[in-house]
Amino acid sequence: MTSPLVFDSQHYSVVTAMITPAFFLTATGSLLVSCNNRLARVVDRMRDQIAEWHLATDPGERARLAGRIVLHRRRARMVLNALQLLYAAISAFVGTSLAIALDQFLTYRLEGVPTGLALVGVLLLLAASLLLGREAWIGVGMLDAEIRVEQARDDGVDVLPPASRPPG
């Protein structure tokens, strides 16, 4: 049995294989930064609308703002869930690198563990990306609704839905 500490060409192929997850780590890290920024923007916007809701006296406007606050909370939770998935993906990619190194020391007894960890990391990255895509879609929908309300106000049209208009 050969010693796992012998530095031959197999050693370099292991080191090369250990570096491969670094590309996934870089991509995941970029998404984490973006995700943290998104979460901060969503939370800031929600706080602004909570302040507007406290100042609003019109029941219709309060109802509209309350609906938007609910959507912001939903978006914030989606981004938070995406962050959790991304952190788990980072753990899987780091685990992949470690498993590749450990596999050589154990004379390749781990079989599919490194590949399995890499697959888990990629699936977590995919799930986070899909979640962020859905959150962005909701955000754009909210923006479209806000633009429609402002355009209607500019045109002098009553923007309150009938159910939120005060009686009278």
Task: Name the H helices within the chain.
Answer: 9-55, 59-105, 113-154
Is the pLDDT confidence value at 164 over 60?
A: no
Helix (H, G, I), strand (E, B) or coil at 54: helix
More confidently predicted of 118 and 156: 118
Query: What digits encode the pLDDT tens for the residues 99-154?
Result: 988 988 888 888 889 889 999 999 999 999 999 999 999 999 999 988 988 888 88
**Mean pLDDT computed over every residue of the chain:** 87
In a domain, 154, yes or no: yes
Report the distance separating Cα 164 and Cα 84, nearest Å: 38
Four-point Cα dihedral 130, 132, 136, 138, nearest 10: 80
In a domain, 57, yes or no: yes
Is the pLDDT confidence value at 45 over 90?
A: yes
Residue 166, pLDDT score: 43
Q: How many domains does the chain have?
A: 1
In a domain, 168, yes or no: no
In a domain, 2, yes or no: no
In a domain, 142, yes or no: yes
In a domain, 45, yes or no: yes
Is the pLDDT confidence value at 163 over 70?
A: no
Mean pLDDT of 55-59: 93
Using CB atoms within 10 A of its CB, is residue 44 exposed (0-12), middle (13-18) or buried (19+)? exposed
In a domain, 1, yes or no: no
In a domain, 71, yes or no: yes
CA distances from 82 to 10, 31, 35, 44, 117 (A): 37, 9, 8, 18, 19
Q: Comparing C-alpha atoms, which of 147, 132, 105, 110 is closest to residue 28?
A: 132
Domain extent for 33? 11-159
Residues 122-146: b if buried by 16+ CB within 10 A, e if exposed = bebbebbeebbeebeeebeebeeee
